[in-house]
Amino acid sequence: MNHIFNSCDWASQLWHWMEEILEASDRNRDSIQETIINWRRNFSRIRRVDSIWKCTPGFIAWTIWKERNRRIFTEEVRNIEFAKDSITINIRQLIQAKCKADSNEKPTDQDLRILKRFQLEASSNQPTWGNRAHPSSQLHRWQRPPEGGLKLNFDGASRGNPGIAGIGGAIRNQDGDIIHIYCRALGECTNNEAEFAPLEQGLKILRTIRQGNVIVEGDSSLAISAAKCLQAGTQTSKVTKHWRLAKATEGIAEMLAELRGIVFHSVRRKANGLADFLANHGADNPHLITNSCWQEVVCPILKVTCAQLAEKDSNQADSS
């Protein structure tokens, strides 16, 4: 057990990477049990930094355990950069959801460096999310997937609830290049139906191209939350009880049963601009259906606009 969580090369790389970020470690290289038991309860006076420290062993151990199971049961090996990206984003989302910025404590230089690595605010001396004109979190802008991975962004557009709706999505690689796009009209449906449908469609495409190591992002927290529950094995009937979402939920569960290496993240609309455009394009053009790899997209206006939006996302990712 100690070899899996502590000594093997893959685990050692994760621990060493996090030690560099935190500039400290209570890791016992001879015993994972001692590492967990002796991990300091108080690391920093800054609440968010202290919370990052406390949750680090759990996130690393869970990531190592999932990788171990992936290799045994599916014979797949995940790129470690993808694992690092997943840990970073999950810790950031946990801290943002559960831990407010400090109101009085002054962060040290070390605190600031750690928070910067996780794209988090340090204290109330900095403006809060609601007051910031240009938030820097990766949740607010598109980010490149790790090397060797892909990113799927999906979205739905509904003109009313219910109303005329459309869906759209795009798959891009680490260079920001578009691999595949899709968009179409849904007819009249609710806003939640318009969010579940593009997720199901995107997962179907991922199954077709048989690509692992994919980050799936959308600005519907309901759809992302449902996908995470289904991925964890929750029964479809317990994920949603609304009959309008039952079919799409079952379809998502079916796709997830066949896919490996999928990580779900909820993002702001600003980080989902290309998918948002495609969803609205689908709603506005009910006679058109696009589901093509990038090289086969024939509509010039669609192709030019998508290319411009993708380039904008890549430039913002490079500047972050």
C-alpha 238/C-alpha 130 separation (Å) is 34
Alpha carbon distances (Å) from 212 to 63, 76, 202, 290 = 16, 9, 13, 23
CA angle 173, 176, 21 (to 5 degrees): 85
Domains of the chain: 2-136 (no CATH), 150-319 (3.30.420.10)
Q: How far apart are CA 136 and CA 266, in angstroms?
A: 16
Nearest residue to 188 via CA among 168, 159, 220:
159
d(CA 276, CA 271): 10
Quote the pLDDT of residue 198: 97
Which two tokens mark 135?
């938030």
Residue 171 contacts by C-beta under 8 Å, 6 or more apart in sequence? Answer: 150, 151, 152, 178, 179, 180, 181, 202, 205, 206, 209, 214
List, for residues 146-205, the tens digit of each pLDDT value. Answer: 888 899 999 999 998 889 999 999 999 999 999 999 999 999 999 999 999 999 999 999
Please, what is the angle between helix 9-22 and helix 47-73, to 10°? 170
Q: Which of 95, 102, 178, 79 is nearest to 139 (CA)?
A: 95
On whether the CB atoms of residues 107 and 122 are closer than 8 A, the answer is yes
Whole-prediction pTM: 0.67
Tokens 């290496």 correspond to: 261
Rg (CA), the chain: 21
| Contact of 213 with 150, CB cutoff 8 Å | yes
163-173 and 178-189 beta bridge pairing: antiparallel
Residue 220 backbone phi and psi in degrees, to 5 = -100, 105
Whole-angstrom CA distances from 251 to 129, 173, 270 are 36, 25, 27
Are 101 and 128 a contacting pair, CB within 8 Å?
yes
Tokens of 314: 């890549």
pLDDT in tens, the chain (320 residues): 888 888 899 999 999 999 999 998 888 888 888 888 888 888 888 889 999 999 999 999 999 998 898 888 877 777 788 788 888 888 887 887 777 766 567 889 999 999 888 878 765 444 333 333 333 344 688 999 888 889 999 999 999 888 999 999 999 999 999 999 999 999 999 999 999 999 999 999 999 987 678 999 999 989 999 999 888 888 888 888 788 899 999 999 999 888 888 889 999 989 999 999 999 999 999 999 999 999 999 999 999 999 999 999 999 888 76
d(CA 311, CA 289) in angstroms, rounded, equals 24
**DSSP label at residue 187:** E
